Amino acid sequence: MVGKVVNILAIESSCDDTSAAVIQNEKILSNYIANQEIHSKFGGVVPELASRAHQQNIVPVVEEALKKAAMTKEELDAIAFTIGPGLLGSLIVGASYAKGLAMSLDIPMIGVNHMKGHIMAHFIDQDKPKPSFPFICLTVSGGHTQLVHVKSYSNMEVIGSTIDDAAGEAFDKAAKIMGLPYPGGPLIDKYGKDGDIEKYEFPISSLQGYDFSFSGLKTSILYFLQKEMKKNPDFIKENMSDICASYQHTIIKTLFKKLIKASKDLGIKDIAIAGGVSANSYLRSELERVGENRGWNTFIPEFQYCTDNAGMIAIAGYHQFLAGEFTSYDAAPQARLPL
Ligand code: KG4
Ligand code: ZN
């Protein structure tokens, strides 16, 4: 296999973004994403509308990815796709398209775990160092929060996860309470930039071990804002920056408590972040600051590879291709799929 050029088309459709990417070995040639605006007015992803939008987007998105990569379908060696976890109706659209295309071209299909994809984004060929095994990855997204002991491309152990809301949900639900549109994470990030991180105090979960809990935090901001709004109906508007900064600080502090514990316990100083919330500017700068103090080698994905994208599925697919991990044409996607 050494020296062979491998071209893979990857498809990601696990939630509300339809994405296709073309990779040649570890180099991304194109990574095209169609966002679904429709969900913002509903305050969250509406599964049936998401599947319908994927159905409309999938053909043009794949065509665009191939065009940008200047590649024909006949040059492809395999089709990678997200097999789970995610919204079943959304996954089925991507998986069915991948299956039809792979069968018509008579090439193999590679089912990729979405959460593995987020971690594998660190191995895309870019002008920066890649983590070396073993390392710890904090994967924080809208659906999951996982602390992962990454031992190799194919051996990843989840040592901690959320027992209720994901970190991204903690952002999005608080944003919704504050009247901000979905997804609220990027807006809390934006407003929090100029705010005082210590203006308001929110509780940090006392859960032991490596697991996370964010539902208490969400309830506490709800009660806090209800109480303040009774006294001053303009409280949110007048204090948006400080509320966002203080709330965001609490989420990030909760994440770091576990990350630091895992690094100490496992004696691992290669620390990575991944997933949609790793686009958060405060998390990114805190990882650099804490990492410098603790002598960590830190790995932060490029913005385009943080939130859902097919580039991360493509790089995971490439390594599975090398390992001969193919998926049969009769495989079906799964809404729940362990790493
Ligand atoms: O990984 P992702 O795109 O989708 C899932 O697999 O869930 O993550 C989406 C999540 C959303 O909750 C969104 O609000 C959050 O990532 N997010 C952010 C930022 N950008 C995206 N949260 C905080 N700050 C950001 N800059
Ligand atoms: Zn994701």
Question: How confident is the model over 231-261, as pLDDT tens digits?
Answer: 999 999 999 999 999 999 999 999 999 999 9
Whose Cα sits closest to atom 13 in ligand 1?
185
* Ligand 2 geometric centre to CA of 142 (Å): 7
In ligand 1, which atom is closest to the CA atom of 279?
A: 26
Domains contained in the chain, CATH given = 7-120+306-322 (3.30.420.40), 129-301 (3.30.420.40)
Q: Which atom of ligand 1 is nearest to the CA of 143?
A: 7
Cα 183 to Cα 40: distance, rounded to the nearest angstrom: 7
- CA-CA distances (angstroms) from residue 266 to 146, 150, 151, 259? 16, 12, 12, 11
The yes-or-no verdict on residue 112 having pLDDT over 60 is yes
Please work out whether the CB of residue 185 comes within 6 Å of at least one atom of ligand 1.
yes
Q: How far apart are the C-alpha atoms of 71 and 73, rounded to whole Å? A: 7
Residue with tokens 């190799």: 152
CA–CA dist 327, 10 (Å, integer) = 14
Q: Is the CB of 82 under 6 A from ligand 1?
A: no
Q: Are 119 and 137 in contact (CB under 8 A)?
A: yes
Q: Is 168 in the pocket of ligand 1 (CB under 6 A)?
A: yes
pTM for the model: 0.96
- Return the higher-pLDDT residue of 17 and 43: 17
The sheet carrying 17-24 orders its strands as 27-35, 17-24, 7-12, 78-84, 109-113
- Candidates 91, 110, 126; CA nearest to 12 is 91
Q: Backbone dihedral region of 320: left (phi > 0), alpha (psi from -120 to 50 degrees) or beta? A: alpha
Mean pLDDT, all residues of the chain:
96
183 CB near ligand 1 (under 6 Å): yes
- pLDDT tens across 133-163, in order? 999 999 999 999 999 999 999 999 999 999 9
Distance 117 CA to ligand 1 centre (A): 15
